[in-house]
Amino acid sequence: MTILYIDGDACPVRDEVYRVADRLGLKVFVVANGSRPIRPTGRPNVSMITVEAGADVADDWIADRVTKADVCITSDIPLASRCLAKGGRALAPNAKVWTHDNIGNALAGREVGRYLREMGVATGGPATLTKQHRSRFLSELDTLVRAAQRG
């Protein structure tokens, strides 16, 4: 059975994920370290997992459990890479589907950005999600879930 994992500390598309999960009868784990409280949804298929504070603790929880039948929703490129390495699927909130073909360049770009920030260069932040992003996210999530269910 396909499970949806949400890297929950700063995920702007939780409601969209819940809608897809409700429609398809999927289990969802929202994993966060508690730095930003997340309200329980009241949905029986959604579990809120609070892990201890620390770098990558939520990522580790997800990466330890994700399987080839699952989808992870994350903007964290290293977590997406770990999910892909286990055969799972990964989708960013902006509807970017992470694949084996694009994750290497994304990891390299992340490191370049980190280096530039250390040098004092402003690299900007994440773009605001538009209605079009949310619509595309829903479409991509549905596509990834169907692929995961087919195996």
- In tens, the pLDDT along 92-130 reads 999 999 999 999 888 898 789 887 888 888 877 677 889
State which residues form the domain around 116: 3-150
Residues 65 and 59: their CA atoms lie apart, in Å, by 10
Count of domains forming the chain: 1
> Between helices 57-65 and 77-85, what is the axis angle to 10°?
20
Please answer whether residues 30 and 43 qualify as being in contact, where contact means their C-beta atoms are separated by less than 8 angstroms: no
Residues 22 and 131: their CA atoms lie apart, in Å, by 21
pLDDT of residue 131: 92
Please answer whether residues 45 and 27 qualify as being in contact, where contact means their C-beta atoms are separated by less than 8 angstroms: yes
Please tell me the pTM assigned to this model: 0.89
CATH of the domain at 104: 3.40.50
Burial of 107 (0-12, 13-18, 19+ CB in 10 A): middle
